[in-house]
Amino acid sequence: MPEARQEPNPFMPIPFLSGDSAGPQPRGWSPAVSGIAVVAFVALLALAWMAASTLLLVFAGILLGVFLDGLTRLLGKVLPAGRGLRLSLVSLALAGFTLGLVAFGGATIVQQGRDLGQTVAAQAGTVREKLKDYGIDVPEIAPGNRRADAKSGGSQDSGGKDSDTKDAAAKDSGTKGEDDSAGSGQKPGGLAGLASGAMKSPGSLLSDAGSVLGPAATVVIGLFSALGNALVIVFLGLSVAADPAAYRDGLVRFVPPAHRARATALLDGMGETLRHWLFGQLITMAVIFLCTWAGLAFLGIGGALILGLQAGLLAFIPTIGPLIAGVVIVLAALASGTTALLGALGVYLAVQTLESYGLTPFIQKRALDIPPATIFAGQLVLGVIFGLWGIALALPLMAVVKVLLAQLYIEDTLHEEAEA
């Protein structure tokens, strides 16, 4: 006997017409708590925006800590010793390697860098003049020369006018950093922010030094901030590598107990991804440096060592870095003739082909499998938001975001496998 069809109850509320929404209901928050949560979230975003440079500086220190931790783990497979001893040996080996490079190759690198800078500037001027003949006006690369010419031309005027020109130049050089930071909407991070704030303070010692030294104070502050930021990165890296489990467990303590196991797995996944990417990237950079150096030295192009070094270092920044390295190589090879230019261009294309189709797919496949267009778009977005720091650290930041999306959204929310 067929079942009787049940007629719908006309008195039952229709979900989209009734006040109650269908499905499970979340825990209700009072308007006051919701408002406080929104304000706190906006304040957190504003703080992150204002301190973006400092936060990225901290991230660079953590990245160094992940690298030292990876070397310490590798050494543990060969030397069964305590973690502190292994980290000390790794740190001493890296410090000795760096000092050895500076002692034996520092003078050569400085000399080749000086010669290369002059050659690139001269060839850039030649290219600019050629483009100007075709009606393409390209601004000068070194505006400092134009300022020097204007200053020397202005010295032929009256004394009062020359004094006004010098005062204006000193004022312009002293406020350049302030104008740049104001234009970007962000404050400089690390020790550079502290020094910049002290320079602006009317009663500080650095402010008095800036008014006396003029442009020289800007150079001193720049060196101080660069060395200070390097020391901050090294200190953070050593601290994180000394006991990474303590920092991981400290972060997990802020997570509810029911989700602490997942949070621990998430942080471990981030660390493993960053370790694999860092070691793969260092291998790629070393191969690019050696191949570029050997190829340009074989062609007899001056400054082959510094050209190979800058190509290897700029390989840390994908897509944009190799383009900059290629432009520098082409400009440097122009001084040696057409044959050298074609040879240098061939070396650059061969190295980039090896990197794009050999090293990166083979080495970085396990660590970071992101399409090139996505990497380039991420670099553009992070570069616009965070400036040079965002471009330099775009790839490790995208690696962290990938781990977050894979584990928290694809696996936990969609309940699908992250690696399809």
pLDDT in tens, 123-152: 778 777 877 777 776 666 544 444 444 444
Distance CA 406, CA 402 (A): 6
Determine the Cα–Cα distance for residues 350 and 291; give it in Å rounded to an integer: 9
Question: What pLDDT is stored for residue 24 in this prediction?
Answer: 47
Residue 36 reports pLDDT greater than 80: yes
Q: Give CA 197 to chain center in angstroms.
A: 24
**402 C-beta neighbours (distance < 10 Å), count:** 18
Please answer whether residues 225 and 192 qualify as being in contact, where contact means their C-beta atoms are separated by less than 8 angstroms.
yes
Q: What's the predicted TM-score (pTM) here?
A: 0.67
CA 282 vs CA 228, 275, 277, 313, 314: distances in Å: 24, 11, 9, 9, 11
**Confidence grade of residue 234 (pLDDT, cut at 50, 70, 90):** very high
**Highest-pLDDT range among 214-223, 281-290, 374-383, 399-408:** 281-290
The whole-angstrom separation of Cα 269 and Cα 59 is 16
What is the percent of the chain where pLDDT is above 90? 17
Over the stretch 323-371, which tens digit does the pLDDT of each residue have?
888 988 888 888 788 888 899 999 999 999 988 887 877 776 666 777 7
Counting other chains too, the contacts that 208-217 makes at CB distance below 8 Å and 24 or more residues apart are 210/174, 211/174, 214/170, 214/173, 214/174, 215/170, 215/173, 215/174, 217/174
Which pLDDT score is estimated for 196? 55
The label of the residue with tokens 């990165």 reads 233
Q: Is the pLDDT of residue 319 over 70?
A: yes
Higher pLDDT among residues 120 and 285, named by residue: 285
Provide the token pair at 140.
Answer: 């000068």
**22 DSSP assignment:** S
Per-residue confidence at 106, pLDDT binned at 50, 70, 90? low
Give the model confidence (pLDDT) of 139-197 as tens digits.
665 444 444 444 444 444 444 444 444 454 444 444 444 444 444 445 555 555 555 55
Helix or strand holding residue 352 (H, E): helix 338-354
> What confidence category does residue 239 fall into, taking pLDDT thresholds of 50, 70 and 90?
very high
**Cβ 136 vs Cβ 177: under 8 Å:** no
pLDDT-based confidence at residue 50 (cuts at 50, 70, 90): confident
Q: How far apart are CA 420 and CA 85, in angstroms?
A: 41
Rg (CA), the chain: 28
